[in-house]
């Protein structure tokens, strides 16, 4: 009986690790301050312009360089699009910036 319970626990643990959350599209803005670019990622339901306004209240000298959307799933990354509210498009180099951001954070550091 104990052996059967252990096998059931192992199966539950294995199943819990193999079930992954459905990837979600996120929005981003690349901001520049003091000559350095930084990615700020945030939830899809927030407007780019609202997020940038919040950032500017804390850092008035910050500039929005580009903006768009990204989707990361199991090492694959898509980034592109544009922000109509900020009238900014994504750039080719945003893909690498977002990739670096995701690799060097748990995806939460600059996530608002």
Tokens of 39: 């990615």
**CA gap 43, 1 in Å, rounded:** 47
The answer to the question of residue 8 being in a domain is: no
The answer to the question of residue 78 being in a domain is: yes
The answer to the question of residue 112 being in a domain is: no
Range of the domain at 35: 22-104
pLDDT, one tens digit per residue, over 29-81 is 999 999 999 999 999 999 999 999 999 999 999 999 999 999 988 888 999 99
Q: Residue 37: which residues within 8 A CB-CB, separation 6 or more?
A: 30, 31, 65, 97
Nearest to 49 by CA among 27, 70, 33: 27
The answer to the question of residue 11 being in a domain is: no
pTM recorded for the entire structure: 0.74
Tokens of 23: 């990837």
The answer to the question of residue 3 being in a domain is: no
Our count of domains for the chain comes to: 1
């Amino acid at each position: 009986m104990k052996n059967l319970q252990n096998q059931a626990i192992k199966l539950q643990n294995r199943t819990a690790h193999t079930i992954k959350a459905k990837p979600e599209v996120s929005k981003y803005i690349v901001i520049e301050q003091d000559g350095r670019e930084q990615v700020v990622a945030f939830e899809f339901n927030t407007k780019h312009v609202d997020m940038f306004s919040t950032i500017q209240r804390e850092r008035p000298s910050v500039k929005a360089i580009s903006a768009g959307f990204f989707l990361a799933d199991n090492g694959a990354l898509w980034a592109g699009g544009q922000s109509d509210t900020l009238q900014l498009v994504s750039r080719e180099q945003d893909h690498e910036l977002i990739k670096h951001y995701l690799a060097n954070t748990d995806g939460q550091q600059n996530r608002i």
